[in-house]
A and B are shown apart, each in its own frame.
Chain A
Amino acid sequence: MSTLIKQDILVELLANAGTGFEQVRATGKEAFQAQGFPTNKSEEYKFTAITKKIEQSIQNFAAAGAFEVTAAQVKEHVFEGYAGDVLVFANGHFQPELSSTVDGVEISPLSDKANTALGSIAKPEKDPFCALNQSSFDGGIFISVPKKAQIQKPILFLNFFQANAGQVIQPRVWIEAGDFAEVTFINHSVNFSDASYFVNKVVEVKGGVNTQIRYYKLQNEGKNAIEVSNIETDIQKDGRFTSVNVSLSGEMVRNNLSLNILGSNSEGNMYGLYLLNGKTHVDNHTNVDHTVAHAESNELYKGILADSSRGVFNGKIFVRQDAQKTNAFQQNNNILLSEDAVVNTKPQLEIWADDVKCSHGCTTGQLDEEALFYLQARGIAKDQAKGLLLYAFAGEVLEHITDESFREYCIAKVQERLGSNF
Chain B
Amino acid sequence: MLTIKNLHASIEGTPILRGINLEVKAGEVHAIMGPNGSGKSTLASVLAGREEYEVTAGEVSFKGKDLLDLSPEDRAREGVFLAFQYPVEIPGVSSTNFLRTAVNQVREYRGEEALDAVKFLTLMKEKMKLVEMDQKLLSRALNEGFSGGEKKRNEIFQMAMLAPTLSILDETDSGLDIDALRIVSNGVNQLKSKDNATIVVTHYQRLLDYIVPDFVHVLYNGQIVKSGTKELALELEEKGYDWIKEEVDSKATV
Q: Among the listed stretches A46-54, A73-81, A158-166, A377-385, which one makes contact with chain B, having 4 or more residues with CB under 8 Å of it?
A: A377-385
How far apart sit A371 and B101, CA to CA, in the bound complex (Å)? 15
Residues of A365-407 at the interface with B, using a CB-CB cut-off of 8 Å, are 368-371, 373-382, 384-385, 388-389, 391-393, 395-396
Q: Among the listed stretches B11-19, B71-79, B207-215, B223-231, which one makes contact with chain A, having 4 or more residues with CB under 8 Å of it?
A: B71-79
Name the distance in Å between A310's Cβ and chain B's nearest Cβ: 25
Q: A371-B90, A392-B91 are in contact. Are A376 and B72 (CB under 8 A)?
A: yes
How far apart sit A384 and B91, CA to CA, in the bound complex (Å)? 16
Q: Are B71 and A379 in contact (CB under 8 A)?
A: no
Minimal Cβ-Cβ distance residue in A for B82: A377
Further 17 A-B residue pairs, CB within 8 A, beyond A368-B88, A379-B109: A370-B88, A373-B72, A374-B84, A374-B90, A375-B93, A375-B102, A376-B49, A376-B73, A377-B72, A377-B73, A377-B75, A377-B76, A378-B76, A378-B99, A379-B76, A379-B162, A388-B98
Chain B contacts of A374 at CB under 8 A? 84, 87-88, 90
Q: Are A396 and B76 in contact (CB under 8 A)?
A: no
Q: A380-B105, A382-B71, A392-B90 are in contact. Are A375 and B49 (CB under 8 A)?
A: no
Q: Are A378 and B98 in contact (CB under 8 A)?
A: yes
- Tell whether B106 is near chain A: CB-to-CB under 8 Å: yes
- Tell whether B48 is near chain A: CB-to-CB under 8 Å: yes
Name the distance in Å between B37's Cβ and chain A's nearest Cβ: 20
| Contact residue among B51, B88, B93, B105 (Cβ-Cβ distance under 8 Å from A379) | B105
Q: Are A393 and B102 in contact (CB under 8 A)?
A: no
How far apart sit A381 and B99, CA to CA, in the bound complex (Å)? 13
Name the distance in Å between B3's Cβ and chain A's nearest Cβ: 21
Residue with the greatest number of chain A CB neighbours at <10 A, chosen from B82, B93, B103: B93
Q: A377-B76, A378-B158, A379-B106 are in contact. Are A392 and B87 (CB under 8 A)?
A: no
Q: Are B73 and A379 in contact (CB under 8 A)?
A: yes
Q: Are A377 and B98 in contact (CB under 8 A)?
A: no
Q: Are A377 and B48 in contact (CB under 8 A)?
A: yes
Interface residue count on the A side (C-beta < 8 Å): 23
Name the distance in Å between B237's Cβ and chain A's nearest Cβ: 30
Q: Are B91 and A380 in contact (CB under 8 A)?
A: no
Query: CB-defined interface of B57-95 with A at 8 Å, one 1/0 digit per residue?
Result: 000000000000001110111000110100110111100
Name the distance in Å between B236's Cβ and chain A's nearest Cβ: 29
- Tell whether B50 is near chain A: CB-to-CB under 8 Å: yes
Q: Are B71 and A376 in contact (CB under 8 A)?
A: yes
How far apart sit A393 and B102, CA to CA, in the bound complex (Å)? 19
How far apart sit A387 and B195, CA to CA, in the bound complex (Å)? 35
Query: CB-defined interface of B106-128 with A at 8 Å, one 1/0 digit per residue?
Result: 10010000000000000000000
Chain B contacts of A376 at CB under 8 A? 49, 71-73, 76
Chain B contacts of A395 at CB under 8 A? 92
How far apart sit A413 and B211, CA to CA, in the bound complex (Å)? 49
Q: Are B51 and A392 in contact (CB under 8 A)?
A: no
Q: Are A379 and B102 in contact (CB under 8 A)?
A: yes
Name the distance in Å between A273's Cβ and chain B's nearest Cβ: 13
Chief secondary structure at chain A's binding surface: helix
How far apart sit A391 and B98, CA to CA, in the bound complex (Å)? 12
Residues of A231-269 at the interface with B, using a CB-CB cut-off of 8 Å, are none
Name the distance in Å between B167's Cβ and chain A's nearest Cβ: 12
Chain B contacts of A384 at CB under 8 A? 101, 105
Q: Are A380 and B90 in contact (CB under 8 A)?
A: no
Chain A contacts of B50 at CB under 8 A? 373
Chain B contacts of A369 at CB under 8 A? 51
Chain A contacts of B82 at CB under 8 A? 377
Chain A contacts of B88 at CB under 8 A? 368, 370-371, 374
Chain B contacts of A379 at CB under 8 A? 73, 76-77, 102-103, 105-106, 109, 162
Chain A contacts of B76 at CB under 8 A? 376-379
Q: Are B71 and A392 in contact (CB under 8 A)?
A: no
Chain A contacts of B84 at CB under 8 A? 374, 377
Q: A373-B50, A373-B72, A388-B98 are in contact. Are A381 and B105 (CB under 8 A)?
A: yes
Q: Report, nearest first, the 9 A-B pairs whose CB atoms are least far apart.
A: A392-B92, A379-B76, A376-B72, A379-B106, A378-B102, A374-B88, A392-B93, A376-B73, A379-B77
Q: What are some 24 contacts across the A-B interface (CB < 8 A)?
A: A374-B84, A374-B87, A374-B88, A375-B90, A376-B72, A377-B48, A377-B72, A377-B76, A378-B162, A379-B103, A379-B105, A379-B162, A380-B102, A380-B105, A381-B73, A381-B105, A382-B71, A382-B72, A389-B90, A389-B93, A392-B90, A392-B91, A393-B92, A395-B92
Residue with the greatest number of chain B CB neighbours at <10 A, chosen from A375, A378, A384: A378
Chain B contacts of A381 at CB under 8 A? 73, 105
Chain A contacts of B49 at CB under 8 A? 376-377
Chain A contacts of B92 at CB under 8 A? 391-393, 395-396
How far apart sit A101 and B92, CA to CA, in the bound complex (Å)? 40
How far apart sit A371 and B141, CA to CA, in the bound complex (Å)? 13
Chain B contacts of A378 at CB under 8 A? 76, 98-99, 102, 106, 158, 162
How far apart sit A385 and B93, CA to CA, in the bound complex (Å)? 10
Minimal Cβ-Cβ distance residue in A for B78: A379
Minimal Cβ-Cβ distance residue in B for A388: B93
Chain B contacts of A370 at CB under 8 A? 88
Residues of A334-390 at the interface with B, using a CB-CB cut-off of 8 Å, are 368-371, 373-382, 384-385, 388-389
How far apart sit A385 and B76, CA to CA, in the bound complex (Å)? 14
Chain A contacts of B91 at CB under 8 A? 392
Minimal Cβ-Cβ distance residue in B for A383: B73
Minimal Cβ-Cβ distance residue in B for A369: B51
| Contact residue among A371, A373, A385, A389 (Cβ-Cβ distance under 8 Å from B51) | A373
Chain B contacts of A382 at CB under 8 A? 71-73
Name the distance in Å between A300's Cβ and chain B's nearest Cβ: 13
